[in-house]
Structure formats: structure tokens, C-alpha cells
Amino acid sequence: MPKDITIQVFKFNELSESAKENAREWWRNGIEFSWSDESKDSIRAFCAQFGIKLLDWSIGPFYPISYKLSEYDNSNFRGIKLSQFERENYPTGYCLDADMSIEFFDTFKKTGDAKYAFECAIESGFIGWRNDMEWQLSDEYIDECLEINEYEFTENGMIW
């Protein structure tokens, strides 16, 4: 004979601290990082300004960054003048454009070395991408997502 069971469900902000930790872990285990495609596209667009291609990359939160660019040398930057660049040049409109553009402009202005400024800007772009991934794993970010999306949980923090 079937039995009726009553289960109480809770919003994230109604959970105990230990239940909140279970809910956060559920979120972390299923996360697909937002804006990774936009980050990759931003780096590719920045490289393309200098005739360079992003060929390969490995990035993740809390891990070392690695990437491979097409061959380039000083000839990619020969004849480039700072006056040809805007400090706030955002080819894709994504926020990572700003990290690279400002880093390039400021480093080029300081050193006069466009190749070095390019390398600093690419590194800045990848660091920004990784920092965004790390932020998406933070308790603060996850708590906000769980509350805004109005997920419901059992008393022990399991998704309902």
C-alpha cells in the first residue's frame, strides 16, 4: 500500500550552514564556467590585431595557465606606434578586451616595446579568464546564483 511522505523544502537562505555547504558542493560539481567562449574570443581578437593566432590553451581555476600562439617575432610589431592604439580598444565588447587593451597600451607607453607589451597583455587576458573561473567557484558567487534562481533544497541541502 502506498504511503504519503511529506518533505519540507527550503530556499537557500533558509538552510543551516552545513546544508548550505552541501548545496554549494552540488553547484560546484555541475558547474560549466560562464563566459569561457567570450574570453577565448577576446584573446583571439586581440592576437589578430598583430597577425598572431591563438592555437592552443589550457586554463582552469587554481591551475597554471598554458597557451600556444602562432609563430611571431619583432616583425609583427615593426613600425607600430602608440598613437595607432586606443587605450580602451574593445574589439569584441567583452570585458576581457579591457584587461588586454589597457595592459598593452600602458606597458607599450612605459617601455616602448610593443612585443613585450603584447606578451604582457596576453598574460593579463589569461589571468583575467582564470580569475573569473575562480570567482565562479566562490561561496559568494554561488550563494547569489542559488538565491536568484530560487532553487529549493531538502533540509540537508540536497537539490529538490
Query: Residue 39 has what pLDDT?
Result: 98
Q: What is the pLDDT of residues 92-108, one digit of tens each?
A: 999 999 999 999 999 99
pLDDT tens for the chain, 160 residues long, are 889 999 999 999 999 999 999 999 999 999 999 999 999 999 999 999 999 999 999 999 999 999 999 999 999 999 999 999 999 989 999 999 999 999 999 999 999 999 999 999 999 999 999 999 999 999 999 999 999 999 999 999 999 9
Same domain, 73 and 100: yes
Q: What is the pLDDT of residues 42-65, one digit of tens each?
A: 999 999 999 999 999 999 999 999
3-state secondary structure of 74: helix
Q: How far is CA 30 from CA 27, 61, 116, 142, in A?
A: 5, 15, 39, 12
Same domain, 23 and 60: no
Same domain, 62 and 106: yes
Same domain, 25 and 49: no
- Say how far residue 32 (Cα) sits from the centre of its chain: 11
Q: Write out the residue range of the structural domain in which residue 116 sits.
A: 36-136
Q: Is the residue at 3 inside a domain?
A: no
Contact indicator for 67, 56 with CB cutoff of 8 Å: yes
Q: Is the residue at 4 inside a domain?
A: no
Task: Please state, in angstroms and rounded to a whole number, the distance separating the CA atoms of residues 92 and 102.
Answer: 15
Q: How far is CA 68 from CA 115, 121, 133, 153, 156, in A?
A: 16, 15, 20, 43, 45
The count of domains in the chain is 2
Q: Is the residue at 5 inside a domain?
A: no
Same domain, 128 and 103: yes
Q: Residue 17 is placed in which grid cell?
A: 550552514
Same domain, 108 and 124: yes
Contact indicator for 49, 104 with CB cutoff of 8 Å: no
Q: Is the residue at 117 inside a domain?
A: yes
Q: Residue 77 is placed in which grid cell?
A: 610589431
Q: Is the residue at 58 inside a domain?
A: yes
